[in-house]
Amino acid sequence: MGGGQEFEWKLGQMIMVGMLLMVGCFYAGTLYANNATIYASQLSSSSSPPSPGTSTFTNKIALTYRKTPPLIPETGINVCPLNLNEYIPCHDVAYVKTLLPSLDTNRREELERHCPPIEKRLFCLVPPPKDYKKPIRWPTSRDYVWRSNVNHTHLAEVKGGQNWVHPKDQFWWFPGGGTHFKHGAPEYIQRLGDMITNGTGDLRSAGVSQVLDVGCGVASFSAFLLALDIQTMSFAPKDGHENQIQFALERGIGAMISAIATKQMPYPSSSFEMVHCSRCRVDWHENDGILLKEVNRLLRSNGYFVYSAPPAYRKDKDYPIIWEKLMNLTSAMCWKLIARKVQTAIWIKQDDLSCLQHNSEQKLVDLCDAGDDSKSSWNTQLRNCIQVRGAQSDSPKLPSRPERLSVYSESLSGKGVTQEVFSLDTAFWQDQVQHYWRLLNVNKTEIRNVMDMNAFCGGFAVALNDSPTWVMNIVPASMSNTLSAIYNRGLIGAFHDWCEPFSTYPRTYDLLHANHLFSHYKNRGRQGCVMADILLEMDRMIRPQGFIIIRDAETITARIQDLAPKFLWEVESHTLENIEKKPETVLI
């Protein structure tokens, strides 16, 4: 799906086959014998014949590693031991420790993704923890989640005074506080709006629709921005702040594990009107400000950098020296400090090419060589320079949401995606999502966290906009960069390579959508890209009783239908019409 011609061929020439699978997570209610009330409806009685599509495999509990080629036992995929219920392959602390001598710890490289070689990856189903319960649904989950689902007390102990999270009977309670807004995110958000607009408006009226929250904690800032219809990509590393991203996702807030250290963030250039750092534990002033230059890449013209941290207000220790360095760096990048109040400083990224050229001539900042800024920023080293965007690549003036959802980006035309193809894609997914809801036959509040694993132009996410969901739009790094166009529609997402596991905790999505994903990776010739690897990662990410929708060539979906029961997935068959009004199979 790298361009318009390929996309049209897939729509017009191939009869696509769709799959909709329910992840039964039988092992949660049988092998570990806990939380049986959740899974009772899915378990077959030993005295009754199995219903169609129900697993009859006797999966074993065993610590199993990936073989080449992958080996799937006749009894089904083994289930990992219970102590591995939070296994994150590319953020495995034990594995990263073995790499420390070769990592630049001064730049916190150890916090970035480090995927083990294929033979050291686990090849077993990650089980839920003891007493795991079906997640509380949105919007209640914004404030309360089950303690048993994220059974870690460290954050409550060290951040309780800042109102991040408190224990409350069998729940975790999130009062909405943060390190620099312990009295609540709403008051803090309004204060930021007042600072930017001189008291005349809020963040939305200041033109903010998309925010990147660096070191987001439990993502309360993002949670309360939703009231302004502001979409936030929240991220934090897997570090001493134990399981903060797991808390965020359990609450139903868009977030992922990531760190800003030595590589570019997996987001397109010029995608956010605001980058926010509230005591985010990033040394922006170090290494010639290379991390600030990455922020500059991510910010749209006239976007804001919000910095709530001690150097912005404290006069003791080394804070004045740090502040002076920050002022020198931001001035060299032609940012303007527009507000400094209470504990927060706010800069605006000015659209001033003459300033940048002057500062470059004065050796205050380096300008990047002309390059292809349209390529995906996946596994790419940071650049210690400022990217000057040409007239053709400049971000358009975008409307606010929801009007932004309809924006067609001119950059798509260079990838063969015409306005007609874009509109066809949008209309197609509007229709398909209605069918999906009918086939799922669940209340819409049952689905909150959604991932589109091959998002193309974001049409699937747009079709879900009126539902109580958020969508992580993934554009495979080996495809054309359509993620910029997705961000221009007011949506969020990331680049990723599905030959590797994703940067998230287990059990974090209610629905996974994979449209022609397996076809793309079928002949990649890389380890970790085979069907079983991707299915295993999908099983790790999906919540018990979650749903998976797969659309692909019939030979691929037939093979997945054979494999699904070995992953303890239920499958049923239905028929829908494809874009050409021809019948195609949907497996549920």
- Please give the helix or strand (H or E) that residue 156 lies within, else none: helix 154-159
Q: What pLDDT sits at residue 370?
A: 72
**Beta-carbon count within 10 A of 14 CB:** 16
Establish whether the linkage from the previous residue to 501 is cis, with ω within 30° of 0.
no
**Beta-carbon count within 10 A of 48 CB:** 7
Q: Please identify every stretch of the chain with a pLDDT value under 70, giving residue numbers as ranges.
A: 1-20, 22-56, 160, 371-373, 390-395, 525, 587
Nearest 5 degrees, angle CA 555-CA 561-CA 563? 105
Q: Is 225 exposed, middle or buried (0-12, 13-18, 19+ CB in 10 A)?
A: buried
Instruction: Give dist(CA 485, CA 481) in Å, integer.
Output: 8
**Tokens 């996974």 correspond to what residue?**
512
Q: Is 100 exposed, middle or buried (0-12, 13-18, 19+ CB in 10 A)?
A: exposed
CA-nearest of 562, 427, 469 to 138 is 469
One-letter amino acid for residue 115 of the chain: C
pLDDT digits (tens, 9 = 90+) for 86-140: 999 999 999 999 999 999 999 999 999 999 999 999 999 999 999 999 999 999 9
Q: What pLDDT sits at residue 33?
A: 34
Residues 409/396, Cβ–Cβ less than 8 Å: yes
pLDDT digits (tens, 9 = 90+) for 63-93: 999 999 999 999 999 999 999 999 999 999 9
DSSP letter string over 172-241?
Answer: EE--S--TT-TT-HHHHHHHHHHHHHTTS--TTTTT--EEEEET-TT-HHHHHHGGGT-EEEEEE-SSSS
Sign of CA dihedral 25, 26, 27, 30: positive
Q: Tell me the CA distances in angstroms from 125 to 35, 380, 548, one per residue in order.
A: 18, 31, 16
Q: What pLDDT sits at residue 574?
A: 75
CA-nearest of 45, 62, 189, 181 to 123 is 62
Instruction: Give dist(CA 227, CA 446) in Å, integer.
Output: 21
Instruction: Give dist(CA 97, CA 267) in Å, integer.
Output: 27
Q: What pLDDT sits at residue 34?
A: 37
Q: What pLDDT sits at residue 19?
A: 57
Q: What pLDDT sits at residue 18?
A: 52
Q: What pLDDT sits at residue 153?
A: 85
List the structure tokens of 249.
Answer: 């996702």
272-278 β-sheet, strand order? 255-257, 231-236, 210-214, 272-278, 299-308, 344-349, 335-341
Pairing of strands 17-23, 569-571: antiparallel
List the structure tokens of 184.
Answer: 């609540």
List the structure tokens of 392.
Answer: 């053709």
Establish whether the linkage from the previous residue to 237 is cis, with ω within 30° of 0.
no
Q: Where in 268-318 does DSSP place strands (E)?
A: 272-278, 299-308
| Phi–psi pair at 217, nearest 5 degrees | 65, -135
Helix (H, G, I), strand (E, B) or coil at 541: helix
Q: Is 434 exposed, middle or buried (0-12, 13-18, 19+ CB in 10 A)?
A: exposed
The DSSP letter of residue 504 is: S
All structural domains of the chain: 88-120 (no CATH), 182-362 (3.40.50.150), 405-587 (3.40.50.150)
CA-nearest of 549, 458, 444 to 16 is 549
Q: What pLDDT sits at residue 390?
A: 57
Q: What pLDDT sits at residue 49?
A: 37
Q: Tell me the CA distances in angstroms from 169 to 116, 150, 401, one per residue in order.
A: 39, 14, 39
